[in-house]
Structure 1
Amino acid sequence: MDKYLVRLFTILCLLLIAYNYAPAQNTDSLLKSGKVKLAQGKFSQARDVFNITFTHLKHRHSPDSLNALLGIGQTYLFEFRLKKAIQVFRQCEQGFAHVKDLKYDVAKSTLYNNLSTCYNFIQKQDSALFFNQQAINLSSAKSSVRGDYYTTRALIFRRISKDSSRHYYQKALNIFFYHKQRLKLARTYYNLSTLFLTKPDSALKYIRHSIKSNCPGFVPSTQQPNPGLHNKTFNKVILIASLLRKGELLAKNNVNLRGALVALMSADTLVTRYRKKLKKRVEKINALRNSAKIFELAISVIWRLRQQLGIPQIEVVKYQRLFFYFSERAKGNVLLDQVSNKNAIDIPIISLPQVQDSLAPTQALLEFVHSGKDLFVQVITIDKITIKKLLTNTTKGELYDLANEFRFASHSLDVEDFIKDSPRLYKQFISPISSLIKDKNRLLIVPTSELTNFPFEALTSNKLSFNPDTPLLGLKEVKYLMHDYIVTYHVSSTLAFIHQPRAYEFDYFGVGFKHFSHKSFADLKHSEQEIKQSATYFSKSKTYLGYPSAHKQIMNELNSRILHISTHGNFQNQYLMGLIFPKGGGQLDTLGVKDIYNMNITTELAILSGCDSGAGKLIPHEGVFGFTHAFLYSNTPSIIYSLWSASDEGSKNIMKLFYETLKRNGDRDYAKALTLAKRQYSKKYYLPAVWGNFVINSK
């Protein structure tokens, strides 16, 4: 019996030891895991780990508990949730007041510096300086971390005194020199350059020091590979930002435009090479922000170089190609990456000679790009390339408002604004290039993101007069851009010309709904009829009409040359959330943009004939994130969509004319068929509000 008691007692002791030892081991691994996720920019996941650690520990004022709490505060700080971060840090500060062990002074000083950073962001400089001094006091004189705290102090003083800021940056530099921390030196030199932006020579000196410290052996160049890039321990974000600043300083007042262009091209090369390798979220955000600045400044620099007198023809050709390259880089970057990843291939930016080889003899490409406050268009045909500046002193916001106002005027039944604006905008956008496109009959328009969904076809070349008694008479003799050209649109030239012919199971696949049985959506009297009549033009067709036979999953694995959907759009806060698929009994299924991304859809032409099917969220340098992007991701070469609310009966009539023209022509020229249908319809209905909503995204 005693033997069993001894064994039982031994087991209990071992369990007790394990119980007391395991939490310490588990806590260490959890804290380490949280710090790793924090460094990777996975702030939400890091916070979950730190919260688990904090909850797991019973003693709230233990050093491990406080380290977990410090980690939670840092996740809020990096997410810029400053109020929450300060709340957690102050709670952590109260806890550290009970910890007397000097070995935790590093954690305390980190806490104080984080608090200092938070207060600096909310412009409470007195509090920021107080906590920063607390952090400095807890650090040893020559410790590397004191250099970081001096950097924070310099950042605080940037709002108060540039001389004091420069003083603390210099103190930080001395410490980083002592510890041979070249990446911190690079960051500090870059920060110092911001104090001398009004003195370009001094700013350039610090930028050169930053580049040299960051990546020894790196010299800005357009040639690849660059020997400095073999060093894997340089800070990519700081190097890209330094090259951008160098470009800005050299471009200012045309100091050295060629040097500026070389710096910007080097920065672009780095962005292209490393954008997929960046792990920290803050790095990705900064790289994206800097990318946009690189493209826009490069466009401005190239334009100024191109305007110089006496440059040789070989230089003219080079600048034309570079102008086009950066114009393309300013469009659809995320979408291009997505398409590349889906197809498991690297899709490079299309070159200017490749574009010219891809254009039809009677076609012109109009590639718009905005830089600073200037709007440019590059007109490209098979035998000529011309760059024109169309607008000056026009911000992106003003350009966006201009596009929105004209779109609204185009679909309004009150024609007074349209009659006033349409000829004026034609004079701004088309007249300067009319001589370059006069012998063409097709236009491929690649707009800036601000001009996405701008109805170019509704621009009028002749002057209109408005009579309030007979307003429509002013449109009787109107000559729209659509009458002279078959107009297509695209997100980017690169995406326009990558599609290859494919085989299809069906020629036509149509989905339409008449009844919705829902208070938010009126019945569509002509929707099912639109699909039925369209299907009659094809021998291999399939249709889904009404409920409950159809739901959004019928789209998955779809393989049809033409996909035609006629239904309501579901809008929330002015954003198109999806297309409505009624299931019966007042129940609704929504085919969303994400659904299209996740489905395997193979089609040559997608027709979305519902209201505002081209709507979505405008993303700078990407365009409108909506169904057009989703179908482009699915490798759909042509997409017909609506720019505004469509009449149920009008949509049916235009689609009837479209399919009749398509069958009569006996080809797959969808853009031509749509344009001819709209021309015919406009003979009866002059207002673009009736026919101008349907446009096509195609090459």
Structure 2
Amino acid sequence: MRSPNKILTVLTLFTILTISDFVLIQNPKSKIQNFQVFAQIPDARKMEADLLFRQGNQQFQISQVEEALQFWQQALAIYREIKNRQGEAASLGNLGIAYDSLGDYTKAIVYYQQCLIITQEIEDRFNEGRVLGNLGATYSSLGDYAKAIEYQRQSLAIKREIKDRQGEGQALGNLGTVSRLLADYAKAIEYYQQSLAIFREIKDRQGERQSLDNLGATYNSLGDYAKAIEYGQQSLTISQEIKDRLGEGASLSNLGVAYYSLGDYAKAIEYHQQSLAIVREIKDRLGEGTSLGNLGVAYYSLGDYAKAIEYHQQSLAIKQEIKDLQGEGKTLGDLGNVYQILGDYVKAIDYYQQCLAITRKVKARKHEGQCLGNLGSSYLFLNNYAKAIEYQQQRLAIAQEISDTNGEGTARNNLGLALFISGNLIQAEKILRTGIEIWEFQRARLGNNDNYKVSIFDEQARTYILLQTILIAQNNPKAALEIAERGRARVLVELLSRRNPIISESANSLITPPNIGLLQQIAKQQNATLVEYSIAYDVFKIKSQLYIWVIKPTGEISFRKTDFKPLWQHRNTSLAELVTNSREYIGIRNRSELATIVPEPTAEVQQRRLAQQRQKLQQLHQLLIKPIANLLPTNPQARVIFIPQSELFLVPFPALVDTSGQYLIEKHTILTAPSIQALDLTRQQRQRLRNLKRGTGIEKQTSNPELLIVGNPLMPKVWNSQTGRKEQLSYLKGAEKEAQAIAQFFNAPVLLGEQATERAIKQRISNARIIHLATHGLLDYGIPEDTGVRDFPGAVALAPGDGEDGLLTSAEIIDMNLKAELVVLSACDTGRGRIRSEGVIGLSRSLISAGVPSVIVSLWAVDDAATTDLMQEFYKQWQQNPDKAQALRQAMLITMQKHPDPRLWAAFTLIGEAE
């Protein structure tokens, strides 16, 4: 088997919520130092006021906010009596902070504004800059981001003017947070990195910790959880080094939230429990309430709703006790979520209404919008469409008012759903089309960072799918096809467009959305029948359906749809389960099982397995092929290009069996592609290569340095998650034999064993015309244990040395400029990767991104002997016929005769161009 006998662990990546939007507000005690009394008046009243002021500080430090307010109010009265303007300003500033921490933002702003007037009158630029920053933070909590940015910029200007480096770092951090809340993540990271640099320069460890936390929060928002954890661990280390117990508790809690988003709920609970122990030890009631709430959320996701309610109730009691209005509102919303999933919509609505009342009281516009959206969802479950629409419209209005991009996109999706279910299809379509424009605007703001675009597209894809459903319901399948393409491999299409000098739009971050005319033109240029699938999952009352479009080379477009359930009435089998079961019955073992020696099955067991295998493959054929069988070409040489979605990328199309017992590869020449528009770009890549090199096809030559053939390198060591250490990959005798045979066929050099180093391959790969790599493929490469940060998944095993680790990764390939017209990855699972809404993120995508128009990869762990036969036959056929797809088909048919089990001949697929 060409896969490592010790397997790496996949780290899926998903999105994260931070404990607080502003570190300064999450830990308001840090603000108290902003307003101190500097005047030294030897006066008994002054001394009394100073004492009251300090007592207020002490009470606030232990979260006794009400007591602190009383002391500061008394101090304020005395400072005003003795006309001590600095003391008056300091008291007003701290009163603002207290009300800020209580969530009473309106009152906080009143005090901040009074403080600001005094600091300007007495020309106290230092504290003027501080209070401007606090005003900006408070307006951000209110969702008034325009005012937040205005005040933060004023604060930054003053701090730079007076050379207050610490204050400058804080202002940059707060500007970063506003940018993050506006979903402008690239700008947020820029601000946070500047802030981090300043704090490191002035050796402000507390500020450094806060900057690291903020960076972690931003990477969480982008779905880069490995980086979020990396920054969280750095923050935790600093907290422990400087013995900042409050910061340590916050860092542990943030790490818990990160692991929660990764789906590792056990580890999330472990971190939240550690955080809870610390905040209880230091009597941080605010932190205690937050940790209890986070534990409630974790148990909610584990399905332990009783425990979730218990923790949320404890959290609620603390937040009510310390009068943390904003925290109280959040917890009420969390309780509403639990009761909603329990189906108790009446109780959920009650909690959401309480949440709404609080967010309106404190004028927290963003959170108010979220409460309204949750209310709309609950009423939709109750079939009260009028109220559902009303609440979603209110949420949309708030999101637009405060420029909340994420909120607007989500509101439009949910409003479109409510309108659709209520029967208002035209208005639903209009709302969702604008929603897609919002999502695309958000992705454009990420610039050329394709990794982050892929992450956020997972949350956006549902809008594209819902709009397709609405268009189908309006009997407009061609418009639905345009939307299906618009939401298919968009990040890849944008990347290819930027890199292709032929395309005039290459400078743009987003290219023109595809239309029917373009899709028909691509089918004609490819001289192929295009088959695009789209999966519409259950959405309330909508059945799970599979949409299928067929575009013939003539431009004729046909549409079919089919339900999932009718095929399997005996149980509610999902499409994902059917695909997985089919692969299992083919005999594809899990990667954790590959090192296990499996006894040879008896003839009876083998016969039973083959019968079950055929049954599953026939079920897939019935679902995927039968509805369109009469639309496919009758000539076996005519190309059929499948454009799958989600789990359909794992379907072995060549091995699907019809009712007569014929495999699909016996009737059709098969290719796959990530999208139709991507095909247009791979065709242009092929044309560019033709302009650089001579013709197409291959000729047997006496010497062919343009061929890069690699087999069975001296294997590197890779991380083994089972043993917790790195271990060397196994020797591949069959891969060596395969590479030698192909090299002999072309009379070309071959790199084997110690010669096949990563450095040697990198030196040759850019100029190679044909690349054949027969080695281990590492589907799971890219976990933080191996690399320290998240990478694109997938790597090819090569010999280490000369400063290289022997793993040619997807992340390294995507940055290359390759001139190869064909790359064959004759290894295990090279066609797989992380299946995202964008498509399959892995080696095949990286190669296409790097400029390769045709890639042959595998969908499972392949057999050495059968693969050697298949690959030799492929090159033999390709030499006779320049059509790679036809050559691969013939190689499969011939290999099938010697190795009839589909597991041995059906693993490979050609992605991209046939010629």
Q: What's 1:676 paired with? A: 890
Secondary structure in structure 2 of the residue aligned to 1:533? helix
Q: What's 1:18 paired with? A: none
1:97-496 equivalences under 5 Å are 108-109=285-286, 111-119=288-296, 121-122=298-299, 123-139=307-323, 146-156=325-335, 159=338, 166=349, 169-170=352-353, 172-174=355-357, 176-177=359-360, 180-197=363-380, 198=382, 199-216=384-401, 233-252=402-421, 255-275=423-443, 277=445, 288-306=457-475, 316=476, 319-321=477-479, 323-333=480-490, 335-336=492-493, 339=496, 345=507, 346=509, 348=511, 349-360=513-524, 362-372=527-537, 373-381=544-552, 382-393=554-565, 398-407=574-583, 409=585, 414=607, 415-422=610-617, 425-438=620-633, 441-461=638-658, 463-464=660-661, 479-496=662-679
Q: What's 2:710 paired with? A: 511
Mean CA deviation greater in 361-370 or 397-406: 397-406
Which deviations, in whole Å up to 9, do the C-alpha atoms of 1:53-111 show, x marking residues without a partner?
55325xxxxxxx454234324413532323322322332232137xxxxxxxxxx4355
Which deviations, in whole Å up to 9, do the C-alpha atoms of 1:538-568 show, x marking residues without a partner?
xxxx523323222122232522221112234
1:596-615 equivalences under 5 Å are 596-610=813-827, 612-615=828-831
1:303–1:684 distance in 2 versus 1, CA, 3 Å: same
Structure-1 separation of matches of 2:868 and 2:454: 45
Structure-2 separation of matches of 1:237 and 1:595: 32
**2:463 corresponds to which letter in structure 1?**
I
Q: How big is the shift at 1:694?
A: 3.2
For the 8 Å contact 1:488–1:695, the answer to whether it is kept is: yes
Q: How big is the shift at 1:274?
A: 0.6
2:775 is matched with which residue: 567, 580, 599? 567
Mean CA deviation greater in 512-521 or 170-179: 512-521
For the 8 Å contact 2:253–2:275, the answer to whether it is kept is: no
1:94 is matched with which residue: 242, 262, 281? 281
**1:112 corresponds to which letter in structure 2?**
G
Q: What's 2:80 paired with? A: none
Structure with the higher strand share, 1 or 2:
1
For the 8 Å contact 2:673–2:912, the answer to whether it is kept is: yes
Structure with the higher helix share, 1 or 2:
2
Q: What's 2:757 paired with? A: 551
For the 8 Å contact 1:606–1:638, the answer to whether it is kept is: yes
Q: What's 1:474 paired with? A: none
Q: How big is the shift at 1:369?
A: 1.2
1:56 is matched with which residue: 234, 237, 242? 242
**1:56 corresponds to which letter in structure 2?**
I
2:211 matches 1:33: yes
Q: What's 1:534 paired with? A: 745
Mean CA deviation greater in 382-391 or 33-42: 33-42
1:385–1:110 distance in 2 versus 1, CA, 3 Å: same
Q: How big is the shift at 1:533?
A: 2.8
2:269 is matched with which residue: 68, 82, 85? 82
Q: How big is the shift at 1:638?
A: 0.7
For the 8 Å contact 1:579–1:592, the answer to whether it is kept is: yes
Which deviations, in whole Å up to 9, do the C-alpha atoms of 1:427-481 show, x marking residues without a partner?
44333223322356210111122122422223345624xxxxxxxxxxxxxx443
Q: Percent identity at matched positions?
A: 19
Q: How big is the shift at 1:384?
A: 1.0
1:88–1:487 distance in 2 versus 1, CA, 3 Å: same
Structure-2 separation of matches of 1:427 and 1:121: 41
For the 8 Å contact 1:555–1:599, the answer to whether it is kept is: no
Q: How big is the shift at 1:598?
A: 4.9
For the 8 Å contact 1:34–1:50, the answer to whether it is kept is: no
Structure-2 separation of matches of 1:204 and 1:560: 58
**1:555 corresponds to which letter in structure 2?**
I
**1:69 corresponds to which letter in structure 2?**
E
Secondary structure in structure 2 of the residue aligned to 1:606? strand
For the 8 Å contact 1:534–1:655, the answer to whether it is kept is: no
1:157–1:452 distance in 2 versus 1, CA, 3 Å: closer
**2:405 corresponds to which letter in structure 1?**
K
Structure-1 separation of matches of 2:375 and 2:435: 20
Q: Which has the higher contact order (CA 8 A, sep 6+)?
A: 2
TM-score, length of structure 2 as denominator length: 0.58
Aligned residue pairs total 600
Mean CA deviation greater in 333-342 or 620-629: 333-342
1:692 is matched with which residue: 885, 890, 906? 906
1:398–1:192 distance in 2 versus 1, CA, 3 Å: closer
Structure-1 separation of matches of 2:578 and 2:359: 51
Secondary structure in structure 2 of the residue aligned to 1:383? coil
Q: What's 1:467 paired with? A: none
Secondary structure in structure 1 of the residue aligned to 2:755? coil
Mean CA deviation greater in 670-679 or 164-173: 164-173
2:730 is matched with which residue: 512, 515, 520? 520
**2:628 corresponds to which letter in structure 1?**
I
Q: What's 1:223 paired with? A: none
Secondary structure in structure 1 of the residue aligned to 2:756? coil
Structure-2 separation of matches of 1:616 and 1:446: 15
TM-score, length of structure 1 as denominator length: 0.74
Secondary structure in structure 2 of the residue aligned to 1:607? strand
1:234–1:674 distance in 2 versus 1, CA, 3 Å: same
Structure 1 unpaired stretches of 5+: 1-21, 58-64, 98-107, 140-144, 217-232, 307-315, 465-478, 537-541
Structure-1 separation of matches of 2:290 and 2:776: 54
Q: How big is the shift at 1:337?
A: 5.7
For the 8 Å contact 1:639–1:697, the answer to whether it is kept is: yes
Mean CA deviation greater in 334-343 or 124-133: 334-343
**1:450 corresponds to which letter in structure 2?**
E
Q: What's 1:637 paired with? A: 853
For the 8 Å contact 1:515–1:523, the answer to whether it is kept is: no
Secondary structure in structure 1 of the residue aligned to 2:681? coil
Mean CA deviation greater in 235-244 or 83-92: 83-92
For the 8 Å contact 1:453–1:643, the answer to whether it is kept is: yes
Which deviations, in whole Å up to 9, do the C-alpha atoms of 1:366-394 show, x marking residues without a partner?
00111112122110123211110134328
**1:375 corresponds to which letter in structure 2?**
L
